[in-house]
Structure 1
């Protein structure tokens, strides 16, 4: 823990560290995190965790910060394999449902201790806060695969035997954000649209769990789903997820053929969303401020054509 804290504090005080705290551009941030993880500030941490057999990779990024990335309420960062450092790497990003984690989790530079190699980083992860020494000003989030959710979290708490990563957040100057309970990560490349909105607006919604009623993919393949949205009649487009697309798994009748979205949209009067499945636009739907009865109300839309059917809602936050 001390080695991670020293690395973060030392790097955050550098010129690049300060730039990373101020930027909201994913491309720039990826470069800052990569350079930071490869700097001598993290030599001590790398040498320590390399002695631990279960640890396969480490990462540097942010977690739980809605001011920096609205819609990236889980985590964002760069990971390197410990035993093939700076040669085998992954980029990850994710959104989360905005409930369940202590407010101290918000706005942190995060060091990730991965129990799987970077080649396996991806898919849908379930996250839960874990207790560590709060006197050090840190918070930790453990994540397991969706398939292990029942074994990872139960009435007695979190079973770290099923964790794929533990992210340790250090509060070094980031603003408060929106806490995340469930996080999911995707390895790959950044989409052509930004996935976050800057500035303020009269209203804010988060997107709820997306369900598939009818899949489009042939021969039992997986549907690949992406969202593009615009607000208040403007032409600026935003994309979700940040990397690649949402890879659906299973069949429409199985529990895993649904994905908690969690991404946040800010608007004054209205917003509209295009749903793409396997690269083809299925439908566009628009939500208006007067559609919502008040904070907490969910308005659900169905996106369907002759080939597929998906539905998800927007929950008004304010």
Structure 2
């Protein structure tokens, strides 16, 4: 996994691991269920489509450069694959069998180096619809004790029995018996003893030890938040966010959004997805942001506590105007701003000298 992807998926990985710890149980081995022949046929069609893509010039070029790719590029490439002609036959075949709505995931599996002991896969997931539908990025993780995973990253495809919006949650893992006629190694994920997903790996299988593991699936569905900005007159650096008081017991799952020059139609999120865990009194009290923001007149910042699956809470708001900094390079700290949630945070920024 590249350093770019590690950074982009670090917060979701922390969330997945926390959910795995919360869901821990002594008996998670699901009752074995046979795979529906129709589901197996659709998955086989997906495997063929991905096999053709990975042998094509565009697929080969993408995979060869994966170590230099970020999450947005991974998503764009795989979105083009799933929305393109290679998957037209898959969609029509699935519809003809009466299996829609479903979703398909294409990602990269292995011993993910985001957190010690986390095995799983990350990548792209989309509704297997004839047109439209949700899509996004995902992270599927399991605590890896007992998993005989190779050090290699394998391409992993999955057929999910639900639409993307219903995929997030906890599942029980069970190894496939042989290859179940699919021609690749893999496993099923079940909930309430019903098979909800079938996942198979190319080249490097997950090995032994998946049976009985608890998995958690995280998705970021919908359109990604914008990242790049057009240059403006000034560049404000959002430097440090300081937590004086968390809005809830333990820690806050913090992210921020900002708008520029009063334009509420374009909202930027930082980090682009996920969050940063913050609480007062230790190293988690300060988040070194380092986020540059172009503006002409003003930057408005809103700080949130992520409460998935509930609505997120606003815990602080700030506004910076270039004229208020008193010159280039001078730090400008906004005193603690609180909200009805009870959290108290301060934000330090400085104005960058673009002529230096």
Return the TM-score normalized by structure 1. Answer: 0.49
Q: Which structure would you say has the larger Rg?
A: 2
Return the TM-score normalized by structure 2. Answer: 0.45
